[in-house]
Amino acid sequence: MASTILNAPCTVPSVKGFDTQNYSGLRPTSSLRFNSGRTSFSGRSQHLFVVKASERHEGHVKKVDMSIEECEAAVVAGNAPEAPPVPPKPAAPVGTPVIQPLQLSRRPRRNRRSPALRASFQETSISPANFVYPLFIHEGQEDTPIGAMPGCYRLGWRHGLVEEVAKARDVGVNSIVLFPKVPDALKSPTGDEAYNDNGLVPRAIRLLKDKFPDLVIYTDVALDPYSSDGHDGIVREDGVIMNDETVHQLCKQAVSQARAGADVVSPSDMMDGRVGAIRAALDAEGFNHVSIMSYTAKYASSFYGPFREALDSNPRFGDKKTYQMNPANYREALIEAHADESEGADILLVKPGLPYLDIIRLLREKSPLPIAAYQVSGEYSMIKAGGVLKMIDEERVMMESLMCLRRAGADIILTYFALQAARCLCGEKR
Nearer to ligand PBG, 13 or 230 (CB): 230
267 vs 409 by CB, closer to ligand PBG = 267
Distance CA 355, CA 383 (A): 14
Q: How far apart are CB 16 and ligand PBG at their closest, in Å?
A: 29
Q: Which residue is nearest to ligand PBG (CB)?
A: 307
Catalytic residue among 298, 366, 384, 390: 298
Considering the complex, what minimum distance in angstroms separates the CB of residue 125 from ligand PBG?
Answer: 25
* 384 catalytic residue (yes or no): no
Give the nearer residue to ligand PBG in terms of CB position, either 224 or 343. 224
Least separation in angstroms between CB 380 and ligand PBG: 7
Which of 15/311 has CB closer to ligand PBG? 311
- Does residue 187 carry a catalytic annotation? no
By C-beta, is 130 or 301 nearer to ligand PBG?
A: 301
Q: Minimum distance from CB of 304 to ligand PBG (Å)? A: 4
Q: At what angle do helices 243-260 and 200-211 cross, to 10 degrees?
A: 30
Shortest distance, position 100 Cβ to ligand PBG, whole Å: 56
Residue nearer to ligand PBG on the CB measure, 232 or 394: 232
| Active-site position among 181, 187, 320, 351 | 351
Least separation in angstroms between residue 274's CB and ligand PBG is 12
Residues that bind ligand PBG (CB under 6 A): 220, 222, 224, 232, 268-269, 304, 307-308, 320, 376-377
Enumerate the active-site residues: 298, 351
